């Protein structure tokens, strides 16, 4: 059993295959973007991983990465809309 810690600045090259380290790297980045902290992740062998106290299959990680990326995208979109509205309010108060 090996635990991976991946720096947020490291970027996998496009020629890499989907190694356990790359899968974990993508999961950590997606999780961090949504929750603001790193998850507890490790590869336990074969296609199985240990995520935040739960044993899951590699396909479950792929689904979770997709879900986290969609959530992060939605959060950015909501944040952008709020900032536009806040700027408009400030501008109207100044009139």
Q: Structural domain boundaries of the chain?
A: 2-93
Q: Mean per-residue pLDDT for 53-77?
A: 94
Q: What region does 18 belong to: left with phi over 0, alpha with psi -120 to 50, or beta?
A: beta
DSSP per-residue letters across 35-77: HSS---EEEEETTEEEETTEEEEHHHHHHHHHHHHHHHHHHHH
Higher pLDDT residue, 68 or 91? 68
Q: pLDDT tens digits for 79-92?
A: 776 777 787 888 88
CA 66 to chain centre: 9
Neighbours of 68 (CB within 10 A): 20
Cβ–Cβ < 8 Å for 47, 57: yes
Q: pLDDT tens digits for 3-24?
A: 555 555 455 555 558 899 999 9
CA 93 to chain centre: 38
């Amino acid at each position: 059993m090996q635990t991976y810690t991946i720096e947020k600045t490291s970027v996998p090259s496009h020629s890499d295959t989907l190694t356990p380290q790359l899968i974990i790297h993508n999961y950590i980045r997606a999780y961090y973007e949504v929750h603001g902290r790193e998850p507890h992740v490790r590869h336990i062998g074969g296609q199985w991983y240990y995520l935040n106290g739960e044993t899951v299959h590699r396909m479950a990680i792929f689904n979770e990465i997709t879900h986290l990326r969609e959530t992060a995208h939605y959060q950015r979109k909501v944040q952008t809309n709020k900032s536009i509205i806040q700027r408009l309010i400030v501008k109207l108060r100044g009139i």
